[in-house]
Amino acid sequence: MALALCLQVLGSLGGWLSLYISCCHMNKHRSYEWSCRLVTLAHGVLAIGLSAYIGFIDGPWPFTYPGSPNTPLQVRILCLTLGYFIFDLGWCIYFQSEGALMLAHHTLSILGITMALVLGESGTEVNAVLFGSEITNPLLQLRWFLRETGHYHSFTGDVADFLFVALFTGVRIGLGARLLFCEMVSPKPRWFMKAGGIAMYAVSWGFMLSIWRFAWRKSIKKYHAWRGRRGEEPQREHPGH
């Protein structure tokens, strides 16, 4: 069983690394980060779809059955995601592209997924955390690609920012608090899985504070720009004055 899990994780790691190399070859005029972001986007979309199917259709329901034995489908998506996080953590360390908070997030994700696979349980809530963590990923990558191509300061950029902040607040902070509560009061999950849940939620709050500061600064800037345009309108209507 352990050998089968290791082979699945290694296969996943090789797959994501191969996709990254292919993206680098197809986008030679772009930066390495561009290719890495494409891989991240692909993983995000795949992880959202699979984790949503597991949580909402295949089951079990994470808010009711935390600590349940892993299902075969949960094991497959956890192995797929573990390979990705190993790849991305290695990329971030090598290129020194991320701060301590993102490195902590990836490290905790790797430890949490590994423990769920080794124990053969708690895949239910780990899958739910994966869904909550990745639900904002496509919007995060869209914002970066818009910025890189010079289209960020547009209506599309504003919509992407709004949806990103709203989803992060509602899902990762709001629903995340509910999931953490269910994890804490349930007698089934191991104590170190509960501790990992607290640590992941603390990391989410670290991201949330940065996001709120960004949203506040952008709102103030938009407000001042709007006031400036309003102030110019009377001058255009009455040029003689």
The string of pLDDT tens digits covering residues 70-122 is 999 999 999 999 999 999 999 999 999 888 999 999 999 999 999 999 999 99
Q: Where are the domains of the chain?
A: 1-226
Q: Return the SS3 of 189.
A: coil
Please check the confidence at residue 4 and state whether its pLDDT lies above 80.
yes
Separation between Cα atoms, residue 41 and residue 208, nearest integer Å: 21
Burial tier of 19 (Cβ tally within 10 Å: 0-12, 13-18, 19+): middle
Q: Is the bond into 60 cis (omega within 30 degrees of 0)?
A: yes
Please check the confidence at residue 176 and state whether its pLDDT lies above 50.
yes
pLDDT averaged over every residue in the chain? 90
> Amino acid identity of 145?
F
137-166 tens-digit pLDDT: 999 999 999 999 999 888 999 999 999 999
Please check the confidence at residue 62 and state whether its pLDDT lies above 50.
yes
Confidence (pLDDT) at 214:
85
- Rounded to the nearest angstrom, the gap between the alpha carbon of residue 169 and the centroid of all alpha carbons in its chain is 13
Separation between Cα atoms, residue 42 and residue 3, nearest integer Å: 27
Q: Which pTM value belongs to this model?
A: 0.89
